[in-house]
Structure formats: C-alpha cells, structure tokens
Structure 1
Amino acid sequence: MSSTDYQEARAALLADPATTGRPRRTALARLTDDWLAELFEQAAPPPGTALIAVGGYGRGELSPRSDLDLLLLHQGGDGVGELAERIWYPVWDSGVALDHSVRRPAEARTVAAADLKAQLGLLDARHLAGDAELTARLRSQVLADWRAGAAQRLPELRELGRERAERHGELAFLLEPDLKEARGGLRDLVELDAIAASWLADAPREGLADARLLLADVRDALHLATGRATERLSLQDQDQVAAALGLLDADILLREVYRAARTVSYAGEVTWRTVDRLLAARRGRGRRPFFFPFNSGGHRVAGRGGPVREPLAEGVVEQDGEAVLAQGARPAADPVLPLRAAAAAAQNGLALSHATARRLAAETKALPVPWPTEARDRLVTLLGAGRTCLPVWEALEAEGLIGRLLPDWERVRCRPQRNAVHTWTVDRHLVETAVRAAALTRRVARPDLLLVAALLHDIGKGWPGDHSAAGEVIVRDTAARMGFDQDDTESLALLVRHHLTLVETATRRDPDDPATVELVAKAVGTAGNLELLHALTEADALATGPAAWSSWRASLVAGLVQRVAELLRGTGTAGAPAASTRVEEERLAVEAARTGEPALLLRAETAQDAPVGEPMGVELSLAIAERPGLLGTVAGVLALNRLTVRSLTLGELDPVGAGPVLLFSWRVAAEFGELPEAARLRDDLRRALDGSLDTSRRLAERDAAAPRRRGIASPPPVVTVAPGGASASATVLEVRAHDAPGLLHRIGRALDAAGVRVRTAHVSTLGADAVDAFYLTDPAGLPLAEEAAQQVAAQVQQALR
C-alpha cells in the first residue's frame, strides 16, 4: 500500500458515517498497521529488527489525529539508520504526526529505567513487523522490570498524576476540560492500566470500560470537529461535538463527560489507597518477598492474628486506614448504617472502603419516611466534618447511595454551571457549600439547619424557572422526609428561598434606607433565621469561587445584617426554660427532698421500643438536692459508661419547701449500640455522688489508653455570654463545640470551679456539634456581674481546649 493509498483509505474511513467510535479507532489502527508493515518490508530490513507500536497506538486504537508512537528495535549492525529513514520519511510525507525512536533492547530498557513516561509507553508495546521474537523478549523484560521496580516507580507515577492535576484541574468540573491530561481523564486510565500491570493492585472495574469508551468517543468527535490534534473541549466546539455524538446539546455532553471522569477519578482513589497500603506494608516488612493472599471476593485475607480493627460507631470499625463494616454488621436490618458509616469515616478523617460502600449499596434497604432521628443526625455529622466529608461523599455517590437518600439529587448531579464565577458543577457546589458552612457552625444556634440548608440551597437548579422558588418547594418535601418538624421545615424553606437575598440586597440596595432593612427583616422573620442566613450567604459565596466573595462584599452584608438584627431585637421573648411538670419527675423531686438521697427513674428502651433504624437509648431522670459539682459528676458517669448525651433539660424545684432540688432529664444513646446494665449505671451514679468513684480520673485514663486517630480540623469551641436581655433572673452562658466524650463533664467541672450555680440548662447535640445554654447565678441566686460572667466564659473556654 502506497502512502497515497493509505491517505485515501484513511480519509474514506474517517468520513464514513457508518463507522464510528471504537470500531473506527480499531479499523484505523489496523489500516495503519498494514501500511507500516508494508513500508517496513519494502525497506529491506536486516535480520534482528522489529517495528513496534508503543503508547496509545500500541493499545490498538487510533483517534483521528493521534500521533503514531513507533520504536524501531534492532540488535546492532549496519544499515539501521537508513532503514529508519526509509520508514519515517513516508510517514512524515503523509502528514501523520510521528513520535519515533531507534534503540537496541538494552538501550530501550535503560531509557525506560530513567524515564517513567518511556517505560509506560513500552508497557503497551505491540508488534507490527519484523522479528516477532525480538518484540516478545523486550515486552517480557519491560514487564518484569516494571513489576520488580513497582515499589519505586508507582510513587513516582502517582506524583506525576498529582502534578498533572495541579496543572490541568479536574475533568469532572471544568467548563473547558482537557480530556486527556485533567484528573479523571484518559491519562489516568493509562495509570490504572500500569498499576494493574504491576500485579500489585487493580482498579474497581464497575463502569470503567464505559467511561473509557465515552471519553475516547468525545476525543474522536473533537478531533474531527476541529481538524486538529487537540484534547481541550473548548466552549466553541462543544455544540458541534455534541451533535456529532447524537446528544441534544453541550450541557448534556458535559454531564456525560463529567460522569465518566468521576468514575475514573473514584477508581483511581480506590486503587491508589490500595497501593499505598500495600507499599507501606512492604516497607514495614523490609525487603523480603511479600505476598498478600486474596479471597474469591477480591478482599485481602488477614495474616496471623488478623487485622487490627478499632471501633468507630455501631457496626463500623477502622481497618487499614479505612472505615469498614464490623463483622457482625447487618446492613439489611439497619437502614441507617450507610449514613452512620459515612459519618464515622468523615469524623475520623478516614476513607470509606470501596468494598463497604458496595456492600451497603447492595444490601441496605431504603430509610423509612420520615427518617429516624439518628439518620438525620448522622447526615448532619457527615456534613459537619468539613473537608474530610468530600471523599466519603464521593464514595456514597459512586455507589448510588446519595440518589437513594435525596431523590432530587440526580437532577443536579454533574450539572454544569455556565458562569465564569462558579468553580464547580451544581452538585459539587452544594457539597462545597456544606464544607464551608461546617467552619461557621459556631456562629449559629442551629448548626444542623445551616448544614442541611447549605446542602440543598441550589437543589432547584435541576428545575426550570427561578431556582430559589423551585428549591423552596423541594426542600419542604425533603425536610419532611428527613423528619424535621414543621418549624424547622419552615426555616429550611426560608433559607433556600432567600439564600441570595442578603448579598443581592447589600450590593444592590441602600442598606441605610429603613425600607431596605424592613424588607429583609420581614423576609427572615426572626433573629435565628437571620443568623442562619448570614452564615449560609458566606458559605455559598466562598464555595462559588474567588470572585464571589471579598472583604467589601462581606462588610456590606455584615452591615446589613447588623441593621436587621437591631430592628428584630426585642421583638422576641427570652427567659429561663420552665421545669418539667411530668408526674413521675415531680414524684422524684418530692422523694429526693424528703429523704435527702438521690431519686432515680431509669428507662432503657428495648429493641422493640426503639424507633426503626435508631440505636437503643436511655431516658434517665435524676432528682437530687442541690450540691456543688452535680452537673459535671453526673455527666462524667454517663461518659464513663459510653453514653452519648443527645439532650438534657436541667430544672430546679422546691416541692416541700425544704430547699431546691435539681431535676435532670437526660436522653442518651449507647456509643457502640450496647447499653450498660441499668443496675451498674445506677450504682456508678451513687458512687460518683458519694465520692467513691472518681469519674475525672477514670475518663482521663481511658482517653490516655485510646488509640490516636486522625481527627477532623473542626472549628474551635466558642463560649459566649448572651446579651443581658436573654434572661431577667440569670446569666445565660452559651457553649458551641465539637461533641466529644466527656464534653459536658468538663463544662460542669469548670462551672463548679468558677463557684457559680447552674440554675437551669438546655443541652442538645446536633450532628457532631454540641449547642448548650446554661442559666447561671451567683451563690445568692442573682445574675452574674458582667466582668464575672466573662471570667466564667473564659474558664469554660480554657477547659475545652
């Protein structure tokens, strides 16, 4: 076949509408193989020479404008230079781009050892013409070199990938992505093939072949549309490429590209975690040979003694740096388990293992509607983890679990935003906003509402019309499904409906005009909603991109918020919460007052009592004559018994006129799903109260013995004194902190050391955040002086560091 014949046949193939996609790439490679083989034979090659396709051409597929990567392999002798020229010149004359080299086998291996890219190209070496045995020997030697040097080359390969991602960004989010070099693109697929060739690990294959096919088809269409060997899917070419692929428009094209890129990126994350783990194990074993047996399901079998498994939550443990299911976990019977596992992983800075995510997707049933309280709390905990939420969220999304939890998510998934201000797709922007909001949770009294509103504020972009109005409708349905009550649902709907109100008003209206302030005040309704909307506005802007938020915008919004807050101030009422009037608790108070001994009422839920999908819990009522340090002592006993405080109401009664009795109403949950025996809990409470059980020492010993895990970078605790109008008869101390075992115990001890009385308290845990309010007086029962109140706040702040 002459060069002219090749060019004509090639042009006819590319113009044939009946041959597209992979069949066309394969046919083009075969046509080129035949032409090059004929050129080689016509050049009268001496014995001991071979023509080899490497790189992309070596994989047996050619895109319309791909280079030809060729290696002329020889064993020495005269005439090799002339042979190369007789092959290369016709290729150059044909107009096809050529990347070529001429080497002996030893030279090829030496270059590969020094140049990782050259070695990767040789991994795909494919014989075209000449001495086939020579090609086979080189291929065998290169693969052996690659496998023997995997411990050194794979970290180098990973670093190359990171550098590419830094330069070219993430394919799944770019408006003009590089299909080959961006993270999640075709080059990453080559990396995954190279890892598989090392025999060290293999990528999860679900959806990977389809992703490879889609990206290659898009590149083919791009080459034909532009007539150039470009990999960048520019805005001006997207409509033409979409039409060539039979897609409705450029947005659908980008969504398909983004989905494929996410599949590749997720496969890469999973595979590199496996590589890192195995290489770390090899370093720990020295340079001796190492083998990790695998079972039929592809999971590594434990060595002697088994893997170390540290509990994270009920049914969830840490193993090999990942969150996995405990051996006794039953996903089919526990619909909250996916969210519990995800929250535990994110809170501990761990990845959710691929096998665990797949098992959860395959076996877990849908959550009941409305969701159990624990499910809602675990979602809030996951979002509140900040940046460590992102890889866990991606794992859930890759297995389809997010779509099950949030049916409207699919409409925004991979949806591009054709706006230069936006950095992310709609769905990733929503998660990024939640990540930003996690750093602002100390500014609001309801961090759970802030985080859920951040996740859903743009959910209406999947529908026609004003996305804020559409989002309001969607969020009402979603909030009700999640189990929020009517008031919280209304707050979430308001936040979504008005998430642009503050920034638009502050930048487009006169904030000094009373009418402007009144308009915003009417929209938000309450100071609590204003506080949430301010934090959501900032989180939304920060997650949008660098151009969406500035110190100027921040100051305008803050000024507007201050004016609205001043208008709203005083319209609400605040006061100390009323004591419980339940008959049982009043009886306990009378008993404690008459006997001088603690009176307890303990109700442990059974598996039948517990709500569907929620862990078994305990309702504990305790009445006891007031004494110093009572709050910290009782909280310490609960922490010692691994009971997590979900809520507490602390009130004060004087039922028989003999002096005040404190009445605690606790709602707690077992940290790992197993409740302590009621008798033991009752005994521990009594011993702690009479001083024979030192809860502080026991908690310190347990904390010292606990393994140190990677935690999240949670915001620091915030302790503030509420404005004077919060209560007429007490000083209100507000504490917002990351929830942790013993947190309430430390707060109680600090208040005791400050010499103040805790008259009433409201303690709640929202996801991973504790939001507590303590009504304090001095020993005489009067509110604290301003200076004294600030000193108490500082002491509590110090105790929580």
Structure 2
Amino acid sequence: MAAAAAADGAYLDRAMLDRLASDTPPMPEPWPDVARHLFEDLMSTGSDLVQVVGDLDQVGLFVHLIPEWGPCRHRPQRNAYHRFTVDRHLLETAAEAGRLAHAVDRPDLLVVGALLHDIGKGYPGDHTEVGIDLVRTIATRMGYAGGDVDLLVAMVEHHLLLPDAATRRDLDDAGTIRAVADSVGSRVLLGLLDALTEADSIATGPSAWSSWKADLVRDLVARVGHVLTGGDVGDVVGGLAATPEQRALLVAGADVISGEGSTLTVVTVDRPGVFSKVAGVLALNGLDVVEASAHTEGGRALSVFRVTDVFGQAPAWSDVGGQIERALAGRLAIAARLGERSRIYRQAPTSARPARPRVTVDNETSAVATVLEVSCPDGVGVLYRITRAFAELDLDIVSARVQTIGSDVVDAFYLLDGSGRKITDAEHLAEIELSVLRWVAVDF
C-alpha cells in the first residue's frame, strides 16, 4: 500500500495509518521475500517516498519495520554542511538513489543501502563502524542472502571512500588507484558506491556536489574500474612527475605568471615560501584553491593552481599576476593584508561545534611522497598559513587537494623533505604537526 501510494504521488489516509499501527502484527524474521520486494519498491519511488515514509514514521510503522531507525528520528546534524536531520537525510538519499537506480547492476541494494548508509549516526561512536554492525543485523532480518548482506555492509563501510579519495588524494598517484581498487574489490560494488556518492552528496546540501567534485569522482571511478577489469594501473595514471610541457617551462629559465580560465601557472626561482606566497595572494583576491601541484628542477619551481572565485566571477588574472610579482619580490605585506581582509569578512561560526584542528599522516598510500592531511575551521588565508608552516621546515609540496566542507576545510598535501624524500622520521613529523597547528591558530 505504501509503495503504491509513493509511486502514484498519493497520501496515506490518517485513519488508515492509525488502524494499521494498531493492527499490524510483528514482522516474521527473516522477512518473506514478498515483503522485502515491496520494501525495495517503496525505496525506489523517488521523491514521493519521503512523504509516505514520514507518514508511516509518525504512527510508528517505520520503526516497526526497522527498530534501529528510532534513534535517528529527528536527530540534528550539528554542522552547516547538512541541511536535514539524520532521518530526513537518509530518506532524501534513498530518493536520489532511486533516480540513479538504472545505472547500477543491483538497484534493489542501491536504494536500501542508501537508506541505511548513515544509520549509525543515531548511536554513540563512529557512525560508520556502528552502522556496519547495524546493517548486517538489519539486512539479515530482511531476508537478504549472505552475499547481498555483505554488499550492503560494504556500502556502509565504504560510503565515504570515493568522495574522500577523489577530493583528498592525487588521482595520478598509482597508490591512490590501487588502494581504492583493493578496498572495493568488484565492479558491482564500485557502481553502487558511485551512485551512492552522488545521491548522498545531493541529499546533503547544495555545496556538497559541485561540478568539480562530480568530475573528480567520475575520473576516479573510471580509473579504478579499469584496474578492476584487469587493466594495468600504469595505463590510467600519469604519476606525480612533471609533464613534458611542465618540464619545458622549468628548463626554459624564464619566469612565468599565467592565468587562464580557472588555472594559474607560476614558474620562478625555487626558494622556500613560493607556494605559500602565491596562495596568500589568491586568498587576498577571493580565490579559493581547490587543487594544486608543484615541481622543481634545476633550481626552478613550477606551481599550478586551480581556483574558484568566492563570488562566482572570472579571476582578474592581470591584477593577480601583478600582486604575485610583488609578493615573490618581497614587496607585498601578505599577512597584514590578509589580516585586514579577515576583519572585513569575519563571520560568526556556522557550526555548533567548530572542528578542532587536526593533522594526520599517511605514509602508506603513496610510494613517493608523504600525504599530510589538515582539518580545521575555514577562514581567510588558511592555505597560506598551512603552507607557511611547510616553508618554515623546508618541505616541498608535490601536490595538494583543498576542500571546504561547510565551515571546515580538509586539505591534503603530498610532501617531500628538503632532500626530496618521504618524511618517515617520527620526530620530524611531530615538528611538522606542531608547526601546522601553530600557524592554523594564528589570528591575523
């Protein structure tokens, strides 16, 4: 009845709902196949399922079906990134997944996995780890076969894998592609995670599924899919080395400051702080860096930045270029100017619980560089401050991924020490963390 109502865009009569709530017997365990298929049909009806399930939930019928749903009901998500409560977010994700069901091998598992992917948020502890146990119990009760239970559990376990890898790791590093392929293991699960990523992001809020993020996820899925079908990872990665075109710019010996579209290329003498100074100038001009790479050769440094404008305008590269020239020559007071900009654009916190700055180190994913991830509240010049810390310790930035999530940033950097090697010494890593946390805390 509920599936038919959602499919027709109809509402359930309140008197009927009350009668069902009082007369419905406990569901047998495991569920009969017909009950499970009807539930899948309901989850596949798209946006209308939100109203219908909401009606069922008001009279206790949805918790009757899935008791674990109870702690998620009306539970707020305490950040500006999510626009819905936990239960509404899960329903919106299932609705979006229904729209994408045609693109996967197992549409039935997609919509159910979408409904349950964040169910652990209603409970204490890490929501993914808690969700894994909950979904194994729920899926078994619903009568899914063992292999299908494993797929649903894997969807919960890895529901953040694709967006995190796509936006926080370099897709031209073979280690990234291998790590994702090893975690996913099959094209079927890859397709489910791909669709779940899009559905989850769209249901989260307008800032969670940009064209930039969509392109990165699409690129990652294509590369991982190639490996999962037996292809060589070398076919789909370029590595972290400079391209032939970039090497030509490095060996030419001329300084370059060139902006085109959303991309800025800077070639200059290799010296500490180049990346940080350019990042500072970009921040002064309201340009957010979303991706960057850097290469050095023969005493020259090349940095490439991909940016978005805070106000959606095309970058005024001629003005920006002039400021970069002054900054690299030591004739621009970047910190002072950022301090003034910070005072002008200072905003009240948008999160009830601002993120505590955190530094994590990954020396496993990449064979050639140390991946250092920095999570902290967003603010004017955050990238400038973080990379000032790197310059202080004579670290080389090979590449960077920069992401704003609501009122927080999560920036990932591929780093080498002053001799061009990965950073494995624990004392050195501790000093890097100390320096980064100190610079992030600086209030201009």
Match of 1:776 among 398, 410, 415: 415
1:661 Cα shift? Answer: 3.2
Q: How far apart, in 2, do the equivalents of 1:579 and 1:428 lie?
A: 45
SS of the aligned residue for 1:432 comes to coil
The answer (yes or no) to whether the contact 1:619–1:668 under 8 Å persists in 2 is no
1:755 Cα shift? Answer: 2.8
Name the residue aligned to 2:295: 652
Match of 2:302 among 648, 656, 662: 662
Name the residue aligned to 2:248: 590
Q: How far apart, in 1, do the equivalents of 2:110 and 2:271 lie?
A: 40
Aligned pair 1:687/2:348, yes or no? no
Alignment deviations for residues 679-736 of structure 1 (CA, whole Å, 9 cap, x no partner):
1111111111111112111001222344664543343244333343222332211112
Q: Match of 1:600, as an amino acid?
A: I
Cα separation, partners in 2 of 1:580 and 1:775, compared to 1, 3 Å: closer
Q: How far apart, in 2, do the equivalents of 1:590 and 1:742 lie?
A: 31
SS of the aligned residue for 2:387 comes to helix
The answer (yes or no) to whether the contact 1:476–1:493 under 8 Å persists in 2 is no
Q: How far apart, in 2, do the equivalents of 1:502 and 1:590 lie?
A: 50
Within 5 Å, which residues of 2 pair with 1:340-489? Answer: 408-413=49-54, 415-418=57-60, 432=75, 435-436=77-78, 438=79, 456-459=89-92, 471=94, 474-478=95-99
Alignment deviations for residues 188-247 of structure 1 (CA, whole Å, 9 cap, x no partner):
xxxxxxxxxxxxxxxxxxxxxxxxxxxxxxxxxxxxxxxxxxxxxxxxxxx9xx6xxxx4
Match of 1:747 among 386, 389, 393: 386
1:781 Cα shift? Answer: 1.3
SS of the aligned residue for 1:635 comes to helix
Aligned pair 1:639/2:283, yes or no? yes
The answer (yes or no) to whether the contact 1:719–1:733 under 8 Å persists in 2 is no
Structure 2 length-normalised TM: 0.55
Q: CA RMSD in A?
A: 5.0
Name the residue aligned to 2:427: 787
The answer (yes or no) to whether the contact 2:395–2:418 under 8 Å persists in 1 is yes
Q: How far apart, in 1, do the equivalents of 2:151 and 2:436 lie?
A: 34
Name the residue aligned to 2:194: none
Within 5 Å, which residues of 2 pair with 1:71-86? Answer: none
Alignment deviations for residues 374-394 of structure 1 (CA, whole Å, 9 cap, x no partner):
xxxxxxxxxxxxxxxxxxxxx
Within 5 Å, which residues of 2 pair with 1:600-611? Answer: 600-604=257-261
Q: Which has the larger radius of gyration?
A: 1
Cα separation, partners in 2 of 1:480 and 1:641, compared to 1, 3 Å: farther
Name the residue aligned to 2:154: 524
Cα separation, partners in 2 of 1:723 and 1:593, compared to 1, 3 Å: same
1:783 Cα shift? Answer: 1.8
Q: Match of 2:308, as an amino acid?
A: V
Q: How far apart, in 1, do the equivalents of 2:394 and 2:84 lie?
A: 36
Within 5 Å, which residues of 2 pair with 1:42-53? Answer: none
Q: How far apart, in 1, do the equivalents of 2:318 and 2:338 lie?
A: 20
1:749 Cα shift? Answer: 0.9
The answer (yes or no) to whether the contact 2:359–2:372 under 8 Å persists in 1 is yes
Q: How far apart, in 1, do the equivalents of 2:52 and 2:299 lie?
A: 62
Cα separation, partners in 2 of 1:252 and 1:755, compared to 1, 3 Å: farther
Match of 1:578 among 232, 235, 239: 239
Aligned pair 1:496/2:115, yes or no? yes
The answer (yes or no) to whether the contact 1:758–1:777 under 8 Å persists in 2 is yes
Structure 1 length-normalised TM: 0.32
Cα separation, partners in 2 of 1:408 and 1:508, compared to 1, 3 Å: closer
Q: How far apart, in 2, do the equivalents of 1:685 and 1:678 lie?
A: 10
Name the residue aligned to 2:401: 762
Q: How far apart, in 1, do the equivalents of 2:241 and 2:369 lie?
A: 18
Cα separation, partners in 2 of 1:407 and 1:743, compared to 1, 3 Å: farther
SS of the aligned residue for 1:250 comes to helix
Name the residue aligned to 1:622: 266
The answer (yes or no) to whether the contact 1:652–1:663 under 8 Å persists in 2 is yes
Within 5 Å, which residues of 2 pair with 1:730-745? Answer: 730-745=369-384
SS of the aligned residue for 2:328 comes to helix
Q: How far apart, in 2, do the equivalents of 1:251 and 1:740 lie?
A: 54
The answer (yes or no) to whether the contact 1:731–1:777 under 8 Å persists in 2 is yes
Q: How far apart, in 2, do the equivalents of 1:722 and 1:492 lie?
A: 35
Cα separation, partners in 2 of 1:451 and 1:625, compared to 1, 3 Å: farther
Alignment deviations for residues 510-545 of structure 1 (CA, whole Å, 9 cap, x no partner):
xxxxxx99975884179743779xxxxxxxxxxxxx
SS of the aligned residue for 2:340 comes to helix
Q: How far apart, in 2, do the equivalents of 1:741 and 1:652 lie?
A: 26
Cα separation, partners in 2 of 1:729 and 1:526, compared to 1, 3 Å: farther
Q: Match of 1:642, as an amino acid?
A: G
1:581 Cα shift? Answer: 7.2
The answer (yes or no) to whether the contact 1:579–1:651 under 8 Å persists in 2 is no
Q: Match of 1:458, as an amino acid?
A: L
1:779 Cα shift? Answer: 0.8
The answer (yes or no) to whether the contact 2:293–2:400 under 8 Å persists in 1 is yes
1:747 Cα shift? Answer: 0.8
Name the residue aligned to 2:204: none
Cα separation, partners in 2 of 1:427 and 1:768, compared to 1, 3 Å: farther
Structure 1, unaligned runs of 5 or more: 1-238, 254-404, 440-446, 461-470, 510-515, 533-572, 605-617
Cα separation, partners in 2 of 1:741 and 1:683, compared to 1, 3 Å: same
Cα separation, partners in 2 of 1:786 and 1:418, compared to 1, 3 Å: same
Alignment deviations for residues 444-464 of structure 1 (CA, whole Å, 9 cap, x no partner):
xxx88x99997542359xxxx
Q: How far apart, in 2, do the equivalents of 1:491 and 1:740 lie?
A: 37
Q: Match of 2:18, as an amino acid?
A: A
The answer (yes or no) to whether the contact 1:750–1:795 under 8 Å persists in 2 is yes
Q: Match of 2:433, as an amino acid?
A: A
Within 5 Å, which residues of 2 pair with 1:721-732? Answer: 721-732=360-371
Q: Match of 1:529, as an amino acid?
A: H
Q: How far apart, in 1, do the equivalents of 2:111 and 2:86 lie?
A: 6
Structure 2, unaligned runs of 5 or more: 1-12, 22-45, 120-130, 140-145, 163-232
Within 5 Å, which residues of 2 pair with 1:497-516? Answer: 499=118, 502-504=132-134
Q: How far apart, in 1, do the equivalents of 2:133 and 2:291 lie?
A: 37
Cα separation, partners in 2 of 1:741 and 1:708, compared to 1, 3 Å: closer
The answer (yes or no) to whether the contact 1:739–1:765 under 8 Å persists in 2 is yes
The answer (yes or no) to whether the contact 1:626–1:660 under 8 Å persists in 2 is yes
Q: How far apart, in 2, do the equivalents of 1:428 and 1:775 lie?
A: 40
Query: Percentage identity across aligned positions?
Result: 23
Q: How far apart, in 1, do the equivalents of 2:242 and 2:270 lie?
A: 18
Q: Match of 2:267, as an amino acid?
A: A
1:412 Cα shift? Answer: 4.2
The answer (yes or no) to whether the contact 2:386–2:440 under 8 Å persists in 1 is yes
Higher relative contact order by CA 8 Å / sep ≥ 6: 1 or 2? 2
SS of the aligned residue for 1:457 comes to helix
